[in-house]
Amino acid sequence: MTRSVWLKADDEVGDWETRKRRITAGLEAGVDWVLVDESDVERVRELGEVNVAAFSNGDVHVMEAEEDETNADAVVVGKDGEGDGTVDLPTDFSGSADLSSLRSNGDSPQGGYVRILNEDYEAFAQAVATEAEYTLVIGEDWQIIPLENLIARIGEETDLIAGVQTAEEARTAFETLELGSDGVLLDTDDPDEIRKTVEVRDESQRESVDLQWAEVTAIEQTGSADRVCVDTGNLMEHDEGMLVGSMSRGLFFVHAETAESPYVASRPFRVNAGAVHAYVRTPDGGTKYLSELRSGDEVQVVDTNGNTREAIVGRVKIEKRPMFRVQAETEEGDRIETLLQNAETIKVATSEGRKAVTDLEVGDELKVFYEDTARHFGEAVDESIIEK
């Protein structure tokens, strides 16, 4: 599931200058959508690149394709209508003006905005969900229970966007019933809270990998090979690195160069990852050859607990260096291996802690990621492939 952060910035927020400050903070933080009144769509376009949703006030329309530069990416029905309680809900939803507006919009992107004032509005939100691509729900006195009900009852026909005011509320929305909402509609002027909410969004989408111990069965010096240093545009922490290896089914945890030494300054943006033939894991759960990496590519950064995040490749350095061949046996009894540079600055995670590859011995336990699957062009496939 791809999570999204929507930022509420309509006239309820304040005058244009107040709205502009909120929108600018959202753009800098990396929100996915800004929700404004139709009259502000062009103003938002001038501020930066972001998806723009506009309240329609019940008058649903989408301008012609040639005018898309001034048009909203989605039109939202419900403000000053039945959705927010301005107009009473009909006893029979078949007579709903909001639902009628949503139906009349054809194939155009559209959303429904509903304040959950009581159980009737919860039911109305379910009806909106059957017509709208996006269903924005704002809890009043109760937040969690209505959200749980809607998550349980609404299928994949709509993206459920939950109204929140803090990053912690966003975290709760993303975790409710383990499935969580598809997105959150954030209503705050605090730039720090906006930034934290975006961080929560990113965390909620990150994979957690199961690392295991593998016992070193052989380590030997080889000749020189073309070694790859992956320099990212992101700083890494002391317990972070990348998963690399000669065999796609078994990848070794290699630390980032965050440690100081008497001879070399730390380079917390770098992982000395091995030879050009080796695989490196990517954020989508796939792999790439180290030789394929280019500036602007994404690689997966993982910590020793298996928590992951993405990093942007800034530069790849390939140089001839003397290498070690490291072989290890997994808990399943499978032999995996990789080539790592023969240098004290290359560290791996062992059961005894961080250790230089030059100090490794047979019997040491290394952290690895193992999956008994083959890969074709980086994608897992169900076929027999022999790697040795």
Q: Is the pLDDT of residue 68 over 80?
A: no
CA dist 354 and 346 (Å) reads: 10
pLDDT in tens, 104-135: 865 667 999 999 988 899 999 999 999 999 99
**Confidence band (pLDDT; 50, 70, 90) for 229?**
very high
Look-up: residue for tokens 């972001």? 50
Q: Bridge-partner residues for 357, per DSSP?
A: none
The one-letter amino acid code at 289 reads: Y
Average pLDDT of span 49-60:
80
d(CA 103, CA 132): 8
- Is the per-residue pLDDT at 142 higher than 70? no
Task: For residue 48, give Cα distances in angstroms to 7, 23, 192.
Answer: 14, 9, 19
Average pLDDT, the chain: 89
Report residue 152's pLDDT band, with 50, 70 and 90 as the boundaries. confident
Q: What's the confidence (pLDDT) of residue 69?
A: 43
Structure token pair of residue 333: 């009894």
pLDDT band at 180 (very low <50, low <70, confident <90, very high): confident
- How big is the CA angle at 146 (ends 144 and 151), to the nearest 5 degrees? 90
Exposed / middle / buried, residue 381 (Cβ in 10 Å: 0-12, 13-18, 19+): exposed
CB environment 87-98: b (16+ within 10 A), e (fewer)? eebeeebeebeb
Whole-structure pTM value: 0.73
- Determine contact, residues 275/323, Cβ cutoff 8 Å: yes
Nearest to 314 by CA among 196, 372, 230, 246: 230
